[in-house]
């Protein structure tokens, strides 16, 4: 079994992770933005490694995220207790209906709309990153950008600390391959109405490099 596979959405995130690593057996790849490309590319990487007789020991989805105000500070680090397909479901006159409440069996959902982080992997990351905020990290296809949608999402997921666009998809691929999974994010901006002037990308990338030391 080879080392850890760390997957980011974009090259800048991958570079920030690599800058904090000291373990040469950790593989870092930028796999693209959004659940579709993230899930497909993760599955391909895991299948190729297994076919070559060098399966990875674990998979971590890492990168920058938006944080829920009052739950995860800008510039802070979050660890997912679970990765959630937050917009997989149906609209209704009374509000959003999660896909598991529509009668879909879990096996048709890759294990369900929520995948827990591997306890041992999460425990190791928590020990190495004691200041990190732990909670649900939501995966969305459309980034939240209004006060109303932010409130609705926070109310539906009271344990959510951040949202990103790839974690759940990577988690499904890892689960299908029987490989431990975790998600690590650093916060660049509060979730809500888009305010590019309020984003702190430099601080988030610096925090990502510092957090990546826990992956070595």
Query: Which tens digits make up the pLDDT trace of 138-154?
Result: 999 999 999 999 999 99
> What is the domain-level CATH number for residue 148?
3.40.50.1580
Average pLDDT of the residues of the chain: 93
Residue by residue, what is the 3-state secondary structure of 62-105?
A: EEEEEECCCCCCCCCEEEEEEEEECCCEECCCCCCEEHHHHCCC
- % pLDDT > 70, the chain: 95
Domain limits for position 17: 4-215
Look at residue 111 in the predicted model and tell me its pLDDT: 61
Q: How many CB atoms lie within 10 A of CB 9?
A: 23
Number of Cβ within 10 Å of residue 72's Cβ equals 26
Checking if the pLDDT of 171 tops 80, the result is: yes
The pLDDT value recorded for residue 33 is: 97
**What are the two backbone dihedrals, phi and then psi, of residue 36, each rounded to the nearest 5 degrees?**
-65, -55
> What would the mean pLDDT of 69-88 be, rounded to a whole number?
95
**pLDDT at residue 93, as a whole number:** 84
* Cβ neighbours for 92, distance < 8 A, ≥ 6 positions apart: none
Determine the pLDDT at residue 109: 62
- Residue 139 has a CB neighbour count (10 Å cut-off) of 29
Q: Which residue intervals of 25-166 are DSSP H helices? A: 35-51, 119-128, 147-156
Q: Is 176 exposed, middle or buried (0-12, 13-18, 19+ CB in 10 A)?
A: middle
What is the three-class DSSP state of 20? helix
CA distances from 163 to 44, 92, 153, 195 (A): 24, 23, 10, 16
Q: To which residue do tokens 């510039």 refer?
A: 75
Predicted confidence band of residue 195 (pLDDT cuts 50, 70, 90): confident
pLDDT digits (tens, 9 = 90+) for 11-62: 999 999 999 999 999 999 999 999 999 999 999 999 999 999 999 999 999 9
Contact status, residue 179 vs residue 56, Cβ threshold 8 Å: yes
CA separation for the pair 39, 194 (Å, rounded): 27
* Per-residue confidence band for 103, with pLDDT thresholds at 50, 70 and 90: confident
What is the length of the chain?
Answer: 216
pLDDT (0 to 100) of residue 107: 64
Residue 197 has pLDDT above 80, yes or no: no
The token pair at 31 is 């796999």
Report how many domains make up the chain: 1
- Residue 203 is predicted with a pLDDT of 96
* Cα end-to-end distance, the chain, whole Å: 16
pLDDT bin (cut points 50, 70, 90) of residue 90 is confident
What is the token pair recorded at 38? 């993230």
191 token code pair: 């979730």
The mean pLDDT value for 172-180 works out to 96
For residue 172, what are its two tokens? 């499904």
- Chain position carrying tokens 């992997």: 121
């Amino acid at each position: 079994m080879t080392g850890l596979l760390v997957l980011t959405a974009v090259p800048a995130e991958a570079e920030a992770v690599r800058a904090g690593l000291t373990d040469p057996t950790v593989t870092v790849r930028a796999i693209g933005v959004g659940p579709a490309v993230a899930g497909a590319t993760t599955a391909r990487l895991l299948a190729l490694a297994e076919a070559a007789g060098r399966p990875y020991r674990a998979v971590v989805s890492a990168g920058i995220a938006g944080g829920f105000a009052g739950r995860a500070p800008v510039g802070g680090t979050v660890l997912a207790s679970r990765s959630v397909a937050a917009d997989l479901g149906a609209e209704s006159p009374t509000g959003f209906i999660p896909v598991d409440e529509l009668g879909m069996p879990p096996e048709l959902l890759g294990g369900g709309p929520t995948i827990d982080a591997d306890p041992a992997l999460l425990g190791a990351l928590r020990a190495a990153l004691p200041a990190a905020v732990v909670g649900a990290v939501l995966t969305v296809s459309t980034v939240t950008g209004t006060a109303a949608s932010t409130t609705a999402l926070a109310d539906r997921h009271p344990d959510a600390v951040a949202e990103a666009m790839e974690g759940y998809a990577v988690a499904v691929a890892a689960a299908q391959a029987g490989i431990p999974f975790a998600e690590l994010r650093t916060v660049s901006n509060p979730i809500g109405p888009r305010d590019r002037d309020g984003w702190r990308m430099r601080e988030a990338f610096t925090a990502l490099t510092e957090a990546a030391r826990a992956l070595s």
